[in-house]
Amino acid sequence: MIRLCLLLCIGLSVWGTNQAADYLRNQFNVRSSGMSGASVAIPNDHRFVYNNPATVIQGRNGVSFANFGKIETQYYALNYNKVYEKFGFNLGFRNAHLDDIILTETSQNPDISNTPLADYTPHTVLGSSSWDAFVYHGATAYSMPWADVGISMHYIHENLVGYTGHAIGFNAGMLTRYQDYTFGASVLNAGTSAMRWENGTVEFIEPTYAIGASTRILEDKLLVTSEIQTQYDTNWILGAELQLNSAVALRVGNSNTNLSFGVGIALQSYEVSVSYQHENRLYNNDIFKLEVSLLWD
């Protein structure tokens, strides 16, 4: 079965993207990053809200902040979670920032345009600028007899070296338990989201589907999870978390794109998670992430 899954995953994988807001594919939750991005079917942690809004109801009250850098870009994420008896809500935002983008234009001088490029510079440096993306979300989840279900809405605002674009998207997810297994499924940007740029260009964010399962073994000390995420390519993830004691957890994961490790430390109301991902597609392929959470009941 596993072999079949692997073959399916590799067969579905394609190379390249023409999707808007591609950066949203980065995993903002650091516990998840320590397990190669597994996030859709892990119970009792609202910080997976970015990938499955149903997790909101299974978490605690708290604030979490995450930070990491990848491909010249700095990412920040902050979310606040509030849980009541039968429902919960989560508010948060994510920011991506990249600067020192050198702006140039081709020389407008007609003499230059007829000159071999090796003779003169083809570019005129205009200065430099930056790119920013802000993603704001609101999520809510309800506890049903058969499952926990959640929905969320997000608003994306991008500033691309002075050009702006925005989009609104909707996500949905569910978590359910059967015997010793937790099953989860989610769809992000359900029905396709449209990114509208100020010049009238409209681009689309295709839905991301995820489905997975998790269970605890070894007297509940070891969490094992597996899931498949698919957008324009398919990513199969296998992750595990070993709870050494009440304070320390070790994580490991593997996927089509990365090998990951992580550590979580819980001290009273505080939790700190760090993760390391080795991206096998990149030159600068070592990615470190940090998340700090303040949680209370």
Partner 1 sequence: MLRVFIGLIISTVAFGAIHVQTVSVNATESVFLDYNKTQILQSNLSLIFENGLGKVSDAFKPTNNVSAVQKSTFNIAMDAARGRTAEATTNLKAYPSTASYYPTDSNCDYKCLITRYFYLGLLSVTGYNANRQEKTIGEWEPHTPQLMLAIDPDATQLLISETSEGIAMPRILPNGLYMPKEITATTPTFNIAPTLNATVSQNLASLGTINVPSFNKYTAVFDVHVIGHELVPTNHVLYAANTLAQWLDNQRVGTPNTWETVVRQLTAVSGSALILVPNASTQSLAAINLSAPGVLNGPNPFNPGIGQTTRFQYTLGNDSTVEMHIYSLSGTKVYEAHRQRGKRGGAKGFNSDITWDGRNNHGNMVANGVYVAYFKFTSIDGTVFSKCKVVVYK
Residue list 206-245, contact with partner 1 (CB under 8 A): 233
First to last CA, the chain: 41
Q: Is 117 in the site for partner 1 (CB under 8 A)?
A: yes
Choice from 5, 8, 67, 136 touching partner 1 (CB under 8 A): 136
- For residue 29, the SS3 value is coil
**Contact window for partner 1 (CB under 8 A) among 11-19, 145-153, 167-175, 247-255:** 11-19
Q: Rank residues 119 and 219 by Cβ distance to partner 1 and give the closer one.
A: 119
Minimum distance of partner 1 from residue 4's CB (angstroms): 25
Helix, strand, coil share (%) of the chain residues, nearest 5: 10, 60, 30
| Rounded Cα distance, 68 and 59, in Å | 23
**C-alpha–C-alpha distance, residues 31 and 237, integer Å:** 14
Select 163 or 181, whichever has its Cβ closest to partner 1: 163
Contacts with partner 1 by CB under 8 A: the residue count is: 78
Among 5, 69, 80, 211, binds partner 1 (CB under 8 A): 80
Q: Tell me whether residue 73 or residue 176 sits nearer to partner 1 (CB atom).
A: 73
Joined tokens for residue 67: 């930070």
Q: Which of 7, 10, 86, 105 binds partner 1 (CB under 8 A)?
A: 105
DSSP state of 163: E
By the 8 A CB rule, do 69 and 279 touch?
A: no
- Backbone phi and psi for residue 53, each to the nearest 5 degrees, phi listed first: -65, -15
- Where does this chain touch partner 1 (CB under 8 A) — which range of 68-76, 148-156, 211-219, 240-248? 68-76
Kindly state whether residue 25 participates in binding partner 1, applying the rule CB under 8 A: yes
Query: Is residue 44 a contact residue for partner 1 (CB under 8 A)?
Result: no
Binding test (CB under 8 A) with partner 1, winner from 99, 180, 220, 286:
99
Residue with tokens 């940090």: 290
How crowded is residue 25: how many other Cβ atoms within 10 Å of its Cβ? 17
